[in-house]
Chains A and B, each alone.
Chain A
Amino acid sequence: METEIAHANRPIPSYLPNWNSNAGEWKAERVVNESKKKADEWTQCLVALQKTRDVQQFSRLFGHFAPRVKAFLMKNGASETLAEDTMQEAMAQVWKKVELFDPAIATASTWIFTIVRNKQIDAIRKLRRPEPEDLPWGPEQSDDPADLVAASQEEEQLRKALAKLPEQQRMMIEKAYYGDLSHSEIAEMTGLPLGTIKSRIRLGLERLRHELT
């Protein structure tokens, strides 16, 4: 099972931008690729919710994510009733923790995924999950809108890349996230543009640490 992903060491598809790891060039490439120049709709909605705590924004977000969160939990093996209850608890956490959302690091769907995953471990599997400590600089967020756009674009590319993976490889990744693979069966996920996300966040962390010193 493991070898199917591990050995499918494909080059990054040509339809993906060729990010350069060099910081300067990387930024230049990013500007060129900012065709929409906007963060995705749901990330914007979550940012608005963060600022206003507006029930209308939450209701929009809920309408989009609640049916997905419930489906995600059911694919993870929860019964319909348990998935419904856990979804409501997870969405309540979204409201409660919205101040912690950092759009420079994650999109709305990635951030909500982490909340759902933790809720599932805690409420359904009744296990404890140690979490990394918060970053030392606290909740101040990036004021560079380009970071939000980059996070959204990268997730869009990731979704496209996922959709274009060979069926078997894509199924393995889905199985991993739907809890159908043990930790020893999960292999490195090749064929996905994870390097672009890693280098942007890494640069962001470095920048913040330099500002601190």
Chain B
Amino acid sequence: MKMKMMSEEIRHHLPESVMAAYSAGTLPEAYSLVVACHVSICDACRATLSSYDAVGGALLQDTDTVVISDDALAKTMALIAEMPMDEPVGKSAGSEVRDPLFPQPLQDYVGGGVDDVKWKRVGGGVRQAILADSEGATARLLYIPAGMAVPDHGHRGLELTMVLQGAFSDEVDRFKRGDVEVGNEDLEHTPIADAGEDCICLAATDAPLVFNSFLPRLLQPFLKI
């Protein structure tokens, strides 16, 4: 029931190009984590992802064939025989213990729920935890106290920010749980967390943010943002 309500309320979705890259398998890990988390609670984007997977399926079906080795089937059957048979295949009995904040892929990175995050203070009450940093893209959790602003900044690359708890507003709109804000060169904004509740976001970036005031710029090497 909770899942259903969340799905219906999501208004800001992933860009189609990001879904296509995730389906094609070329999206860096940091962004893939945001996609996996958003799709976990958004039926519309789950359906979109399936449609891009179908493009991959159509290409596989229509690809030219190449010769396989004579013993390929025998070797594959041998691989199957070596597999542990009692190992559960996905679809774990996890539906009752769903974390109210963190979708499963995020729990896998954090090693648990929100209480298990290893936060680091970055000033102004804002905290962060870096979860993935590979292929030039970084995924981090951000904790912004209620009513606090993230300093005015722009983006050189692509930034995907998904709200997990609370909400924030900026020059574009208000973003609630499940919503994803897409930042690029064209977006310069000052996100402010709603007054009522601390805001937790999952953010993925592939280039340092560009701060427009002196102090955050000075802090940037330490913040690693």
Contact = CB atoms under 8 A, between A and B. Distances in A.
B48 interface: yes
A60 to B, nearest CB: 11
A183 B43 contact: no
Contacts of B94: 133-134
Nearest to A76: B25
Contact of B46 (A117, A120, A201): A201
Interface string B40-64: 1001101111111111111111111
Interface residues of A, number: 85
A96 B80 CA distance: 7
Contacts of B144: none
B51 A183 contact: no
Given A96-B83, A100-B90, A189 B105 contact: no
Nearest to A213: B1
Interface string B115-135: 000000000000000001011
Describe B's contact surface by its main secondary structure.
Answer: helix
Contact of A202 (B43, B52, B68, B80): B43
B218 interface: no
A72 B56 CA distance: 10
A177 B29 contact: no
Nearest to B79: A92
Contact of A129 (B32, B95, B158): B32
Contacts of B66: 67, 70-71, 74, 80, 83
B28 A105 contact: no
B21 interface: yes
A132 B56 contact: no
A48 to B, nearest CB: 17
Interface in A20-78: 55, 59, 62-63, 65-72, 74-75
Interface string B13-43: 0011110110111111101110111011001
B91 A88 contact: no
A183 B18 contact: yes
Given A130-B35, A132-B105, A202-B47, 18 more contacts: A66-B72, A70-B65, A84-B72, A88-B76, A91-B76, A92-B76, A100-B90, A117-B25, A132-B40, A136-B95, A154-B54, A183-B18, A192-B55, A198-B48, A209-B4, A209-B7, A213-B1, A213-B4
12 contacts: A100-B91, A117-B23, A117-B24, A127-B135, A132-B104, A134-B91, A134-B94, A137-B95, A159-B58, A162-B58, A181-B24, A182-B26
Interface of B: 1, 3-4, 7, 15-18, 20-21, 23-29, 31-33, 35-37, 39-40, 43-44, 46-69, 72-73, 75-77, 79-80, 83, 89-92, 94-95, 98, 103-105, 108-109, 132, 134-135, 157-158
